[in-house]
Amino acid sequence: MSFSYRANWTFGGLMLAVLLSCALALPRANGADQAALICQHFAKLLGTPSGLVPYALEAIVDDRGIRRIPNVDIDGDNLNDEVRWSCPEAGGSVPVDSCALRTILSASKKTVEFKRPKFFLIRFDGVVYIVSSTDLRRQEEVGKSDIYRLNGSGTKLVCKQL
């Protein structure tokens, strides 16, 4: 029965190393899994009465009808990017032009453009998304909302036909 303190510490250190190795070996959510999780979450939110409305970005509308989003950093450089979009008003039964989003990134000066018949911008968990839909609440017909992530690389479809 002659265990020394050092032997106990070595055994404890060994156990810590084993536990850390096991933790690192656990499977992590990859990009596809993360997208599936976010889409499930958006689908749940769309099933609530308020839908995605609480996450909508507030815009300032100028006299030409162009909406500008203040205080938004799309490219992650901690500087505000220029984000604006416009949607022509429907004047009757004739289809209107698509809504247009134009983002000028502060870091690269790259311009990101996006066009769809109708869309909204939301910020969820620090990420800006474009919700291509006629409403931020669940529509009567499920499967009409596509959701895109907007970042410094451009736009990427993350949820199709929610």
Chain-centroid distance, C-alpha 51? 15
Q: Give me the residue label for tokens 């450089």.
A: 77
Chain-centroid distance, C-alpha 131? 9
- Across the beta sheet with 67-69, what order do the strands follow? 60-61, 67-69, 82-86, 99-104, 111-116
The token duo for 78 is 């901690």
Question: How would you classify residue 35: left for phi > 0, otherwise alpha for psi between -120 and 50, otherwise beta?
Answer: alpha
Q: Would you give per-residue pLDDT tens digits along the chain (162 residues)?
A: 544 444 444 544 434 343 334 333 334 455 678 888 999 999 899 888 888 999 999 999 988 878 899 999 999 999 999 999 888 765 554 546 788 999 999 999 999 999 998 889 999 999 999 998 877 776 555 667 899 999 999 999 999 988
DSSP state string for 49-102: TTTTGGGBPP-EE-TTS-EEE-S--SSSSSSPPEEEEE-PPP-SSSPPPPEEEE
pTM above threshold 0.85: no
